Structure 1
Amino acid sequence: MSKITILAGDFPSGNGHFSFRNFTLPGDSNHYLCETVNINQLESFNRVNRQMVTMLGVGERTERMLEDLTQDHVLFMARLKDKRRFVGLTDSRTFDKMIQARRIEGNKSEALTKAPSAA
């Protein structure tokens, strides 16, 4: 299980995880509940830069985190099919895993839509 940090968006800021094909995101402000989002539920998933995140008007805590970024950190933005969004931070290895999982799931979906019907 790989760690991600939610910085801004329609989910509360806090720690989350990515494993296999699922994001586990904070679901409430107290972090007692969480929400699991499958990679198939993503409409878009892109790497972003620090300036883009700053334009969102993030809090002081997030500003401090952005100042301490290293080369290994990756900022990304995800938009779900239900139009909710979040900006996250993770290490480059985890980001590569997310990209690979999204690519694999996309190929599976394409294969299912192109398969001939049994009728």
Structure 2
Amino acid sequence: MSKITILAGDFPSGNGHFSFRNFTLPGDSNHYLCETVNINQLESFNKINKEMVTMLGVSERTERILDDLTQDQVLFMVRLKDKRRFVGLADKRTFDKMNMARRIEGNKNQPMTKAPSAA
């Protein structure tokens, strides 16, 4: 299980996780509840930069996190098919895992095509 941090969006800010094909996101402000989102529920998943996040008008806590970013950390934005979205932060290895899972799941959903005949 890999750790991610939710910085802004339609989910409360806080710590979340990514494992296999699922995000576990904070579900309420007290973090007693959480929500699991499958990678198939993603409409878009994009790497973003610090300037894009600050345009959202984030909290002071989030601004401090952005000021302390390291080379190994990646900011990303997710939009779900139900139109909710969030901005997250993960290390490069976790971001690569999420990206790979997204590609694999995307390929599973594409219909198989007939191979050309040898004739």
- Which aligned pairs between 1:41-60 and structure 2 lie closer than 5 A? 41-60=41-60
Deviation at 1:114, TM superposition (A): 3.8
Question: Match of 2:23?
Answer: 23
Following TM superposition, by how much is the alpha carbon of 1:115 offset from its aligned partner in structure 2, in angstroms?
6.9
Q: Which runs of 5+ in 2 are unaligned?
A: 115-119
**SS at 1:88's partner residue?**
strand
Cα offset for 1:71? 0.2
> Structure 1-normalised TM-score?
0.93
| C-alpha separation in 1, matches of 2:46 and 2:104 | 16
Letter in structure 2 aligned against 1:51: E
TM-score (norm 2): 0.93
Q: Larger Cα Rg: Structure 1 or Structure 2?
A: 2
In 2: Cα distance, 1:20 partner to 1:109 partner: 17
Residue 91 (structure 2) aligns with? 91
Count of residues in correspondence between the two structures: 114
Q: Deviations over 1:12-38 (max 9, x none)?
A: 000000000000000000000000000
Letter in structure 1 aligned against 2:19: S
Q: Deviations over 1:47-89 (max 9, x none)?
A: 0000000000000000000000000000000000000000000
Is 1:65 the counterpart of 2:65? The answer is yes
Identical-residue share of aligned pairs (%): 83
Distance in 2, matches of 1:18 and 1:3, equals 6
Matched residue type, 1:54? T
**Which structure shows the bigger proportion of residues in helix conformation?**
1
Q: Distance in 2 between matches of 1:89 and 1:57?
A: 16
RMSD: 1.1
